[in-house]
Amino acid sequence: MQRFIKEIGIDMIYIIKQADKILAFFHNDVDIVYKTFLGSRWSDEHVVLDNAMKNFSINISRDNSIYVFCGDSEGNIVLCVSEKDSETWSKKIMLSVPSDKNQLPIFFPMISDTLSLIYNSPTDNTLLIQNMNFDNTWQPPTILDKVSGNFKVQNISHDHALVFYQSVSKDNKPNIGYIEVSPHAYSKNFKTIYSSPYPTVDTSFLTTYDKIYALYITKNMFGNQLFFKKIDDNGISNPILVYENQRIEICLLSIVNNQLTATFKSRGQLLISTSNDDGESFTKPTAYKNKICSDLKKATFICENPMSTADFFTREVYVDEHAPWDIQVLPDLCNNFFDIPKIEKIISPPPPDTAKDEQINYMTELIKQYKHELDELKQDNTLLEKKLLALQKPNH
């Protein structure tokens, strides 16, 4: 049977947009780390868990604490939690997995009144959910379905999620769809979005507050085709063929300025197609004109505040494979994506009759602040100069 997108544990990248900063989580081939964008530039790497397995997942709680579920070098499932505005991480072993540590399941946490885990079993291809009791003991797991390959989870709220995956059908025909999951209510009614005898190259699902949009690439003997579908109160729409070519590699669906925006890579070029009528029709794809990196990857996007279709609404973003904090495309389409309130450190001057030592301390701190701001401006200026030179460089 054809696999659904990629194997487990490959290229897990998360971008989290908070009110005052943006964080990028990724695996640097040794540790699970993150960088912070605060004001004007990205920080150095901070370690969440050292010597970690590549399988990890992230969600945020009601109080905006960040929950990272990951595997350590011994094969234990570890929960790392960072409270808001804290650079320190608490770590707790939640489960010990006796199987091969290179085949660790992916655990996706749902954080409501208690903790729930959605995960896959690599040994028998089952999708399960397991709830924690109020006394921190675990209930027995419940099997949700049989799956083939990876799965994706998108939250509607803290206690309501959609799980997208490829089901294992009796006729060995790939069926891509979803089930709805809550901590204490599991719908085992798999809802098929599309079924095709052809392999799936890539998918992008976009769950809003009242609709589900799906963009997917199928591969047949003549080439690749990019299709779109919409799921709402009227049911599942007929597929719309957005594009076809010998090679379509990656796709991503988002809403920017009330426009459904489909971006995808074909023959090394990023193309863009938009819809102004909620997916009833799409424009003819055109080349994306802004400069992008050569190796695009997709990262899961989590926003602390509610997103708006009038601004942007997305569940994934493109990043640079070699610099997974470098967000591509969406910041160009949405000019205020990087708008982060600048935190001003106000140093109040001491009264005129203050002792000399306090006057010196005040001036010293003020100089440090100005020097820090000057360093940031220099870095921003250097980055702009590099981008300007790249744009001015003649095409060959």
Q: What is the DSSP string of 151-163?
A: EEEEEEETTEEEE
* Least confident piece of the model among 137-141, 156-160, 166-170, 328-332: 166-170
Higher pLDDT residue, 84 or 16?
16
Q: Which residues contact 41 (CB under 8 A, 6 or more apart)?
A: 376, 379, 380, 383
Distance CA 51, CA 13 (A): 17
Taking the C-alpha atoms of residue 180 and residue 154, their distance in angstroms, rounded to an integer, is 10
CA distance readout (Å), 3 to 24, 147, 175, 190, 346: 27, 10, 11, 18, 55
Residue 28 pLDDT greater than 90, yes or no: yes
How far is residue 104's CA from residue 85's CA, in Å, rounded to a whole number?
30
Instruction: Report residue 202 CA to chain centroid gap.
Output: 15
Where on the phi/psi map is residue 223: left (φ > 0), alpha (ψ -120 to 50), or beta? left
Give the CA radius of gyration of the chain: 23
Instruction: Report percent pLDDT > 70 for the chain.
Output: 80
Q: Output the average pLDDT for the chain.
A: 83
- Which residues have C-beta within 8 Å of that of residue 88, sequence separation ≥ 6? 82
Answer yes or no: are the C-beta atoms of 120 and 151 closer than 8 Å.
yes
Higher pLDDT, 55 or 383: 55
Instruction: Return the pLDDT at 347.
Output: 53
181: CB partners within 8 A, 6+ apart: 110, 118, 129, 144, 160, 161, 162, 163, 187
- Quote the pLDDT of residue 277: 96
Distance CA 115, CA 179 (A): 19
Kindly tell me if the per-residue pLDDT of 52 is higher than 70: yes
**Rounded to an integer, what distance in angstroms lies between the CA atom of residue 287 and that of residue 270?**
6
- In the prediction, which pLDDT does 379 show? 61
Residue 269, classified by CB atoms within 10 Å of its CB into exposed (0-12), middle (13-18) or buried (19+), is exposed
Contact assessment for residue 19 and residue 7, using Cβ atoms and an 8 Å cutoff = no
Position 75 confidence tier, pLDDT thresholds 50, 70, 90: confident
pLDDT confidence of residue 354: 65
Element (H, E) at 71: strand 66-71
Q: What is the pLDDT of residues 336-391, one digit of tens each?
A: 888 765 444 445 566 666 667 776 776 776 676 666 566 556 666 666 666 676 66
Give CA separation, 132 vs 80, 82, 111, 114, in Å: 16, 20, 10, 6
Beta bridge partners of 194: 176
**Can you give 218-265 as a three-state secondary structure string?**
EEECCEEEEEEEEEECCEECCCEEEEEECCCCEEEEEEECCEEEEEEE
Mean pLDDT of 44-69: 90
The CA–CA distances, whole Å, from 141 to 98, 130, 190 equal: 16, 4, 19
pLDDT over threshold 80, residue 200: yes
| Token representation of residue 302 | 């989590």
For residue 193, the 8-state DSSP code is E
Q: CA-to-CA distance for 367 and 233, rounded, in angstroms?
A: 60
* Residue indicated by tokens 């029709």: 281
* pLDDT exceeds 60 at position 43: yes
- Nearest of 215, 217, 201 to residue 252 by alpha carbon: 215
Alpha helices in the chain (DSSP H): 330-333, 356-392
Q: What is the pLDDT of residues 303-339, one digit of tens each?
A: 988 888 888 999 999 999 999 999 999 999 988 888 7
- For residue 383, what pLDDT is reported? 61
pLDDT score for 85: 65
The average pLDDT across 46-69 equals 90
372: three-class secondary structure by DSSP? helix
Confidence grade of residue 15 (pLDDT, cut at 50, 70, 90):
very high
pLDDT band at 7 (very low <50, low <70, confident <90, very high): very low
Q: What is the pLDDT of residues 144-156, one digit of tens each?
A: 998 887 889 998 8
Residue 17: what pLDDT?
A: 93
Q: Between β-strands 235-236 and 223-232, what pairing exists: parallel, antiparallel or unpaired? A: antiparallel
Pair 103, 118: CB distance under 8 Å: no
Q: Tell me the C-alpha distance between 55 and 382, whole Å.
A: 36
